[in-house]
């Protein structure tokens, strides 16, 4: 089975301080923040590795869109024995362009012919929660959303457990298909061994020019969506960006023993609210 994971690297927004949330030219400066895997995509990458662990004979690939800053992340994936890693070369503001991202991925997936595509359900900054769903529509594939676990099943199919409102739903799906990964526990991406880093980490990244894919997409009359650039569809346009002010009184109790602090907290603030 050819398995592809689409992933995104995002700024660690948890490292922002309250005063850093300032908008200028419809953007927030997050350039100084450390980069990390988008959490849902990290789960998707680990889920793909576990699927490969559970049944042999799979070919694992990963793809992301962006510039050379992504290369350290690709090295980690190569060291984790992803067979192929692809970077779609495109710099630019893609924060609120899920249609364009999906069109690029759709053109890439058509070209490489994968059986199973795993995507995180949404990613930080844009929080659009649309890319895997538009991709599903563009490719016309069956899809299971909110997947938490993926297991091999008989007859070349997959057993997928999704976390839906109210419980866990088990479904069986036959590739080709798309699975979007939602909240799932204990799926931090494993860390490659030093030996594997040395042996596999230098595997080259296959770089694809986004314009090539956009030409493919334009030429493909079935796509019905022309890479977002010449799209006939109306696209939402960001016109205003403002910080959400969730600050409160911010009273600090910092003197005394823990017992004294607890007493002050209880007597002055909690008692009346607990009665």
Partner 1 sequence: MDRHISRDKVQNIIRYVVILNGCTVPYESPFQRQAEDAYALLQNSRLTEADGAAVVFYDDDAEKDKLVALSPLPAVKLVKVRGYQPEMILKILEKLHADDPRVLYFFPGDAAGSELSVRLAWRTGGCSLTGVRRLQAADSGISAVRYVYASQMEGTFTVPYPVPDAPLVFSAARGEGEGLPVYSAFDRVLDEQDFSNFPRSCKNPEAGMFTPVSTPKTLEKARFVVAAGQGAGSKSAVSAIEKSAEIMGAALGVSRRAAMQAWAPMERLIGASGASLRADLCLAVGVSGAAAFLSGIEKCGFIAAVNTDPKAPIVSCADVTVIDDYQPVLEALLEIMMKRVSSHD
Site for partner 1 in 106-165 (CB under 8 A): 121, 124-130, 133-134, 136-138, 141-146, 148, 159-160, 163-165
What is the smallest separation between the CB atom of 140 and partner 1, expressed in angstroms?
A: 8
Stretch that binds partner 1, among 1-9, 55-63, 211-219, 260-268 (CB under 8 A): 260-268
Residue pair 181/134 in contact by the 8 Å Cβ criterion: no
Q: What is the DSSP letter of 2?
A: E
Contact status: 221 vs partner 1 (CB under 8 A): no
Contact status: 97 vs partner 1 (CB under 8 A): no
Residue pair 140/106 in contact by the 8 Å Cβ criterion: no
Of the residues 25, 34, 56, 249, which one makes contact with partner 1 according to CB under 8 A: 249
Residue pair 236/96 in contact by the 8 Å Cβ criterion: yes
- Measure Cα distances from 35 to 26, 39, 69, 70, 124 in Å: 21, 12, 9, 9, 12
Angle at 180 between CA 176 and CA 182, to 5 degrees: 155
Of 129 and 203, the one with the shorter C-beta distance to partner 1 is 129
Of 96 and 197, the one with the shorter C-beta distance to partner 1 is 96
Contact status: 229 vs partner 1 (CB under 8 A): no
Q: What is the DSSP letter of 256?
A: S
Residues of this chain, 167-186, that bind partner 1 according to CB under 8 A: 167-173, 177, 182-186
């Amino acid at each position: 089975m050819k398995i592809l994971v689409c992933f995104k690297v995002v700024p660690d927004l948890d490292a922002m301080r309250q005063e850093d949330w300032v908008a200028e030219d419809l953007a927030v400066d997050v350039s100084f923040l450390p980069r990390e895997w988008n959490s849902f995509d990290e789960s998707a990458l680990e889920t793909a590795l576990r699927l490969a662990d559970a049944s042999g004979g799979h070919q694992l690939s990963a793809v992301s869109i962006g510039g050379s800053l992504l290369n350290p992340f690709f090295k980690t994936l190569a060291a984790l024995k992803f067979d192929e890693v692809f970077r779609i070369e495109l710099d630019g503001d893609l924060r609120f362009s899920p249609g364009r991202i999906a069109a690029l991925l759709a053109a890439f997936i058509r070209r490489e012919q994968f059986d199973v595509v795993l995507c995180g359900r949404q990613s930080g900054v844009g929080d659009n929660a649309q890319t895997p769903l538009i991709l599903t529509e563009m490719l016309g594939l069956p899809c299971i959303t909110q997947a938490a676990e993926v297991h091999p099943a008989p007859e070349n199919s997959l057993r997928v457990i999704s976390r839906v409102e109210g419980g866990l739903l088990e479904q069986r799906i036959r590739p080709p298909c798309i699975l979007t990964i939602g909240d799932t526990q204990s799926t931090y991406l494993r860390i490659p061994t030093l030996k594997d880093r040395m042996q596999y980490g230098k595997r080259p990244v296959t770089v694809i020019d986004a314009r090539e894919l956009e030409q493919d997409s334009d030429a493909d009359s079935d796509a019905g969506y022309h890479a977002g650039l010449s799209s006939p569809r109306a696209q939402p346009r960001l016109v205003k960006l403002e910080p959400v002010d969730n600050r409160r009184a911010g009273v600090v109790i910092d003197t005394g023993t823990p017992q004294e602090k607890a007493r002050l907290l209880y007597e002055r603030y909690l008692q009346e609210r607990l009665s």
